[in-house]
Structure 1
Amino acid sequence: MNPEIEYELMKNHASELRKAAAEHRRVREAMKGNKSERRSLFGKRRSA
């Protein structure tokens, strides 16, 4: 496989992993609900 394609695939995969991790974090925060102290920005924005 040529390096350019491999690099593009790697970048794409990394961004997909980042998105999945962010989504997972949001879900976990939402599941914690009111017990979470760290929901400052996200929580305020959702409820506003």
Structure 2
Amino acid sequence: MGPELHFQMIINRSAELREQAADHRRAREVEKARKSQAGGVRRRSLFGKISAA
């Protein structure tokens, strides 16, 4: 494999990885926004609400 072809493959792969990272970052931001819109109320399980008598 020639150096030019290898260099082009590296450029393409790095662009793909940057795109994946951007998608992942956007997904985390959306999840964070959804959690903040929920009013910050944590939902507890049934067993978390029952107190030991």
| TM superposition score normalised by structure 2 | 0.62
Bigger RCO (CA 8 Å, 6+ sep): 1
Larger radius of gyration: 2
Residue identity matched to 2:32: K
Give the root-mean-square deviation of aligned CA atoms. Answer: 1.0
The alignment covers a number of residue pairs equal to 35
Counterparts of 2:9 and 2:28 in 1: how far apart (Å)? 28
Where does the alignment leave 5 or more consecutive residues of structure 1 unmatched?
A: 36-48
Q: Percent identity?
A: 43
5+ long unaligned stretches in structure 2: 37-53
Runs of 4+ in structure 1 off by over 3 angstroms are none
